[in-house]
Amino acid sequence: MGGFFDAPAKRRELEKLEAKISEPGFWDDSEKAQKVMGVRSRIERALKQQADFETGVSDAEVLFEFAAEDADSAKELVALIAKLEKDVTAAEVQSLLSGETDANNAICSLQAGAGGTDAQDFCQMLLRMYLRWAEKRGFKVEILDEQSGSEAGLKSATFRVEGDYAYGLLATEAGVHRLVRISPFNSGGSRETSFASMFVSPEIDENIEVNIEDKDLRIDTYRSSGAGGQHVNVTDSAVRITHIPTNIVVTCQNQRSQIQNRAVAMQVLRSKLYELELEKRRSETADLEATKMDISFGSQIRNYVLHPYRLVKDTRTKFEVTDVDAVLDGDIDEFIKEFLMFKKSAEART
């Protein structure tokens, strides 16, 4: 049945890393060492995934011989085949992620768009969707900043997702999302359309140079409005940094001190500036324009329709599902896979 990837090449890569880890002074630069250890862990998990799959195939062959006459073997075979199918799908998706930063952690920003309170509520719904998706994958999530809506929901939210290929997977979600439903905030019970956007950038390490000059920054502090310890709402610990040349604004208020908030905000800014540079390169070949669109009608990448029918449809791939509740509960892997395949096919045609 073949393999997920070139396992011998991965083993050679692992051997080189092991040699580097064994060198004297490897831990002198702890941050750099941790990055190498992270790469090693990722390769080890991939090799284990491959080995487990091969073992599963062998077990399935044995069970198949007994399944016709033994009900328990048949039941076990069905369960094993379902697991192998899931493993193959996961490996197929991973094989489509070959970008320079696809394996990195992701920094995501949600922003409410047109639609007033409904849009702010939708922004919070999307945040929950991505948090649930990350939880199901075993990814670690850290909320960096939240701006509450005027009546309900969120005006914006920034969060960090830590896990293998978090950026490559979540980058498929970048763009404008559109919700159609009977508004719970309208006493007339009218159908309303609202929008929210998702922006995703890769978390980058110190080895990737991003030039940020102090004269290009405006740094403001303000009083935190969320949870974060007894100091919150007492000191001006929240930080807002504006990069004047690009007008990119990042905020952080969920760390325990102003110094920590500033450090995290600078990390988010570096990642966003790096993604901006990548986006400029993509736009030169017309590869990605979704994140440049207005957060309004006609620019969405996905429609979530709750009334008069129930359907979630990706406008890029045309993939759709009717189980809206499952999607909003984090079941978006099929959308991610379909877009990655769509993108791969588009690249092959150019």
Asked if residue 341 is part of any domain, the answer here is yes
**Would you call 114 helix, strand, or coil by DSSP?**
coil
Q: Which of 95, 117, 151 is the last residue of a domain?
A: 95
Residues 89 and 190 occupy one common structural domain: no
- CB 224, CB 132: distance < 8 Å: no
Residues 125 and 189 occupy one common structural domain: yes
Residues 84 and 144 occupy one common structural domain: no
Answer yes or no: is pLDDT of 178 > 60. Answer: yes
DSSP string, 154-223: EEEEEEEEESTTHHHHHGGG-EEEEEEEE-TT-TT--EEEEEEEEEEEE---TTS-----GGGEEEEEE-
Per-residue pLDDT tens over the stretch 25-80: 889 888 788 878 878 887 888 888 888 888 988 999 999 988 888 898 899 999 99
Asked if residue 226 is part of any domain, the answer here is no
Asked if residue 261 is part of any domain, the answer here is no
Residues 143 and 54 occupy one common structural domain: no
Domain that holds residue 340: 106-220+277-349
Q: Which of 39, 67, 95 is the last residue of a domain?
A: 95
**Would you call 65 helix, strand, or coil by DSSP?**
helix
Q: What are the residues facing 110 on neighbouring strands?
A: 157, 198
CATH number at residue 65: 1.20.58.410
Per-residue pLDDT tens over the stretch 118-135: 999 999 999 999 999 999
Query: Which range, 78-92, 208-222, 298-312, is most confident?
Result: 298-312
Answer yes or no: is pLDDT of 139 > 50. Answer: yes
Q: Which of 95, 129, 150 is the last residue of a domain?
A: 95
Asked if the bond preceding 24 is cis, omega within 30° of 0, the reply is no
Is 230 or 143 the better-scoring residue by pLDDT? 143
DSSP string, 6-28: -HHHHHHHHHHHHHHHTSTTGGG
Residues 288 and 207 occupy one common structural domain: yes
Residues 62 and 131 occupy one common structural domain: no
The band of 318, judged by pLDDT with boundaries at 50, 70 and 90, is very high
**Would you call 272 helix, strand, or coil by DSSP?**
helix
How many domains in the chain? 2
Q: What are the residues facing 243 on neighbouring strands?
A: 217, 248
| Average pLDDT, rounded, for the chain | 86
What's the CA gap between 248 and 294, in Å, rounded?
A: 16
Asked if residue 271 is part of any domain, the answer here is no
Handedness of CA 326, 331, 332, 335 (dihedral sign): negative
Asked if residue 269 is part of any domain, the answer here is no
The band of 227, judged by pLDDT with boundaries at 50, 70 and 90, is very low
